[in-house]
């Protein structure tokens, strides 16, 4: 599984918003997305824009749906998890290993070129598709329930497009 996050502006404020560190402290929301190898969104979590990435990864992994595939019991957790430097934390790595997940997270303050970009591009593409949907580019809703409904609908639209067009 591959994880990344995106920050969107929240004009009206509301639940799960916070000062954005990349938009001069204006109100914003961060969507953290977990996708499969093919770019299918498996879980999306919404938090304030000022929330740290490494604190969002464990609840996102626990939201991992049971995925059937090979005969037998469906997988409860992924085998591997790929993420960028924003998720780098020794505590997170230790907890993921304890859960039986092999973390592939780039270390901070190391030169680029680790090769994770060859795997992580699918989550960047999915985030591009999510931000291509107008209601996901800028947040207008104040209630968290409504925002969660929009994120679920966005994931459904992306899954539908992947299923019927095979490529967006």
Instruction: Give the pLDDT of residue 113.
Output: 66
- Average pLDDT, stretch 6-16? 81
How high is the pLDDT of residue 168?
A: 47
The model's pTM is: 0.82
- The mean predicted confidence, pLDDT, of the chain is 83
For residue 137, give the CATH number of its domain: 3.30.420
Q: Is the pLDDT of residue 49 over 70?
A: yes
| pLDDT higher than 80, residue 111 | no
Query: What is d(CA 42, CA 163) in angstroms, rounded to the nearest whole number?
Result: 14
Complete DSSP assignment for the chain = -EEEEEEEEETT--TT-EE-TTTTT-EEEEEEEEE-TT--EEEEEEEETTS-GGGTHHHHHHTPPPB--SSSSPBSS-SEEEE-GGG--HHHHHHHHHTT-EEEEPPTTS-S--STHHHHHHHHHHHHHHHHSHHHHEE---SHHHHHHHHHHHHHHHHHHHHHHS--
Report the percent of the chain where pLDDT is more than 70: 94
Range of the domain at 147: 2-165
Is the Cβ–Cβ distance between 158 and 126 less than 8 Å? yes
The pLDDT tens digits for 115-149 are 677 788 888 888 888 888 887 878 788 887 888 88
Domain count within the chain: 1
Distance CA 119, CA 155 (A): 20
Q: Range with the lowest mean pLDDT among 17-26, 75-84, 96-105?
A: 17-26
């Amino acid at each position: 599984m591959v994880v990344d996050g995106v920050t969107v502006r929240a004009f009206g404020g509301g639940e799960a918003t916070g000062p954005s560190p990349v938009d001069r402290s204006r109100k914003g929301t961060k969507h953290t997305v977990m996708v499969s190898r093919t770019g299918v969104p498996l879980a999306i979590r919404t938090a304030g824009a000022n929330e740290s990435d490494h604190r969002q990864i464990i609840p996102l992994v626990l939201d991992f749906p049971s995925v059937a595939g090979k005969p037998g019991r469906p997988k409860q957790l992924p085998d591997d998890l790929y993420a960028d430097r924003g998720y780098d934390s020794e505590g997170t790595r230790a907890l993921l290993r304890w859960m039986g997940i092999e973390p592939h997270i780039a270390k901070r303050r190391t030169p680029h070129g680790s090769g994770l970009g060859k795997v992580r591009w699918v989550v960047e593409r999915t985030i591009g598709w999510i931000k291509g949907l107008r209601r996901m580019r800028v947040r207008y809703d104040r209630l968290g329930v409504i925002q969660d409904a929009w994120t679920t609908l966005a994931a459904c639209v992306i899954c539908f497009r992947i299923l019927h067009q095979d490529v967006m």
